[in-house]
Every structure is written in structure tokens, then in C-alpha cells.
Structure 1
Amino acid sequence: MHFIFSRWIICSIQLILIIYRIRQISAAEGKTKIFTINPDEKDAKLQGFTYRSFDHISPRACFKECISRQRCFSFNYNKVHFTCEINLKPDSVSLVYFPNVIGYIYVVIQHYRGNPLFDPCIENPCITDEVCKSLKNNKTVCVKDGFNIPHKTPSNVALRKYTQQISTAGSDLAASKAVDGLTNTWSRTNLELLPYLWVDLGTIYNIIRIEIINRNDYGYRLHDLDITVGLHLDHMSMCAHYIGPGTNGEHLIFQCKGWYIESRFVKMTIIKGSEYLQFGEIKVFGYEIIR
């Protein structure tokens, strides 16, 4: 009886905290008389270009975090978990960067820049590395963002770099085929338990995103894939996991949870069953770290 009562107390406290959190976020939404945004995409998010994230904030607060930064092109907002991801401008506008994720909205901030109803920084525009902050006297100031991002577009730093795989099914299926810049060639291992392929980027990079183009046939072989990154092959960290199975020629995009990850090696491993590990192309986008 005492155990049941204790569980009831714990559940009641958790419910009160959830209600309090929702009311806080609702209150934040009510601080402006006019605030209406039209999502550019519903139940979808831009993948591979997020450079900052925020937890437990309202949609309006997410909007403000984006519009106050000149480098922010758009944002993803999760209405279920109250999370915000602000994005750099994509290299190109492509549907391949928009996975369907229930609960998200995607908003391009450019629609609202220069509009006094939404943009607090019209009178005091900030430079790329600054954030526009509103003061209590309704004036604005520009402060350092504190998140250093190179201005240039990230490049594919895996192109024609040194690669190895657990085995090779033939001379025309070598690991190097996965980074040769061509999608009509491919790498392939023999049938192996825990097959892997790794790429040595040659130096340390800030990894922005990893893209995989699946082979144009037998695409279903790509499944249960661990993508790990690290400074040394004997000390790798999880970046992303792909359940699959893949489809022929599929273009997959992954972003490590920590976003800008310092790494030299990228490794792909199928962790479930015996399989042929194969790739049409592996692309790793990042910036070289200058020490």
C-alpha cells in the first residue's frame, strides 16, 4: 500500500511539472500581440545544416533565436518536445535534405526579415558573427555569437582520401570506389559478420554532415549501419545509426548529434547479421581545423 501511494505521489509531481512547463511555453507565446508564422514544411525538418539547438523553448523563442542571427537561414521546431534547431543556408534546395519527421515544422526566416512586426533588428543590423539582443528600453545591441563557424561553404573532405574495408569482393569493388566522386562505381565487401569500411580524412576536420549514396542495385543490403567518427580508429564515437533497409540509389544524410564534431576518421559498420557492405559514394562535409 505504501509503495502504491509513493508511486502516486511521484506521478502527481511529474504531471504538475509537465503542466508547469506547458504553461511557461504558452506564456512565452502570449508576450507578443501579433505572432503568426506559416511553416514552409509540416512534419518535416531540414537535415544536415543545423548549427545550434535549444531545448525547452517556445516556437516564438525559436523564431527569435533565428531572426536575431544574420547567418540563420531557417529553423526546425519540434512541437512535441519543444526543441529548436537553427540552420545555415543549404548548399542547394533539394528535397533530399527534408526527411519526414512527425511533430516538426520547418520555417524559412527570410520571409520575415525586414518586417517590423517580426524583426527586432531593423534599425541595428548585426554582422554575421553577432546576435541582435533587445534591451528593456526597446533598443537593440549586437553581441558576439560565441559560436565560431567559418564563412565558406563546407566541402567534401572525404573525396579521394585513403580508405580500407574488412574485405574486397573484387578489384573493381575496392573501398576507394566509395570516395572516388562517382555514383556509378561502388565499393563492396565479401559476405562478412560486422563488415566495415573506414575513411582517413588525412587531418582533423569539424564534421558538419555525412552523406551516403546507396548502390543503384541491391540497395536493401544497407541496414543496421553504425556511423562512427573519431581522432583515432581505436577511439571512435557514435555519430548516427541507420536502421534501413536502404533502397536503390537512395541519398541519405546524417548529422552527428553534437553537430560540429572534430574527427579524422569516419567508419561505417553493419552491426546486425552477416552482410555485404557496399556504397555508391560516401561524402563527408566539414571544415579543416587550423591549430
Structure 2
Amino acid sequence: MHSFLLAIGLLCVHCAQTCKHSGYTNVAYMKKITLSSYHSKSQYPGSNAVNGKLNDVTASDWEASPWLRIDLGKSFKIQKIEVIDRTGCCEGRLHDVEFTVWSCPDHMNSCGRYIGPAKNGERITVFCPKNTVGQFVQLQIVKGEKNEISPAEVCVWGKPNN
């Protein structure tokens, strides 16, 4: 079952990089990532979250409300955000995640919240409200005292904001 889920996940990540759905593409692929803290920046760099690979992860250090932020480089109209949880270990670490999109901190848009906890390799999809526009996408664990945010991949489906 694990091999099947991994194969489906790899196909989905490949499609997220190369496919278009009604004009939406994965605008997060290979973009700049910042984490609230780093477990080991050299071993688990932020770039692992947007490189199209499911066999590596990024990881924050343990803290109350860790976050992962993607700078898309410019504003996009965001349709949905997908997170693929890591495989192989650490089931349940991804939980109570708030998904936020913005260009200006004064105008933040919530795309939703995932309660979880996620199973290893689980794909989580959050749809943003219609006409959500932003340059920054953030995932933040908002509940608990000691958490680590460590997804295998994050895809942000968007298109140019004309």
C-alpha cells in the first residue's frame, strides 16, 4: 500500500509541475522558502518543500507554532494549496495547519485550516476563496506546545493576476 501511495504521489507531483488545470499551474515550484526555524538547514533545507521530490523533506525545529512561508516572487490568483506529508516516519506531526495568502500583511486571506493529524504520505488540499490573490503563502501549525512542520512537498495552484 505504501508503494502504491508513493507512486500516486510522485505522479501527482509530476503533474503539479507540468500540468495546467483551467490555466492554473504550480506557482510554488522551486520558489524561495523560509521557515520559522530550522531543524538542520543543511540536511532539511526549505527548498526541499518545493523541489518536486517526495523522498526528501524540510523541517523546522521544535516550537509552539512553526511556519513555512513561500515567496512566489509576484502576486498570483491562488486557487488551492496542496501539501503532501512526509512518508516513512513521523505520522501525526502535521496537524492544525492554518493556510494563509497575502501580498501585504494588512490584507491576509485565510484559505482554510486542516485539523488532521495527517497520515504518512497523505495529500491535503485546501481551496482558497474565489479571487484570493497574493505573493506569499504560509502554512502554520496553530495548536499545541511542541510541533515541527516537515512536509515532503507543497504545491500552490495559481495563475497570473491580470
In structure 1, the partner of 2:113 is 241
The residue type equivalent to 1:186 in the other structure is V
Shift of 1:233: 4.4
Shift of 1:165: 0.3
In structure 2, the partner of 1:204 is 75
Shift of 1:252: 1.1
Answer 1 or 2: higher relative contact order, Cα 8 Å, separation at least 6. Answer: 2
Mapping of residues 55-204 of structure 1, within 5 Å: 153-170=23-40, 171-204=42-75
Unaligned runs of 5+ in 1: 1-93, 95-150
Q: Residue 287 in 1 paired to residue 159 in 2?
A: yes
- The answer to whether the 8 Å contact 1:233/1:265 transfers is no
Q: State the percentage of identical aligned residues.
A: 35
The residue type equivalent to 1:226 in the other structure is E
Change (3 A) 1:174 1:234: farther
Alpha-carbon distance in structure 2 between the residues aligned to 1:228 and 1:194? 14
Shift of 1:234: 5.6
- Misfit runs of 4+, over 4 Å: none
- Give deviations 1:154-201, integer Å, cap 9, x for gaps: 110000001100111111211111011111111101111110110000
Alpha-carbon distance in structure 2 between the residues aligned to 1:278 and 1:234? 27
Q: Residue 225 in 1 paired to residue 110 in 2?
A: no
Shift of 1:232: 2.6
Alpha-carbon distance in structure 1 between the residues aligned to 2:35 and 2:158? 22
SS at match of 2:118: coil
In structure 2, the partner of 1:67 is none
SS at match of 1:176: helix
Alpha-carbon distance in structure 2 between the residues aligned to 1:283 and 1:184? 15
Q: How many residue pairs end up in the alignment?
A: 140
Normalised TM-score (structure 2): 0.81
Unaligned runs of 5+ in 2: 1-11, 13-20
- The answer to whether the 8 Å contact 1:211/1:253 transfers is yes
Larger Rg, first or second structure (1 or 2): 1
- The answer to whether the 8 Å contact 2:109/2:132 transfers is no
Shift of 1:260: 3.0
Alpha-carbon distance in structure 2 between the residues aligned to 1:235 and 1:177? 28
Instruction: Supply the RMSD in Å over aligned alpha carbons.
Output: 1.6
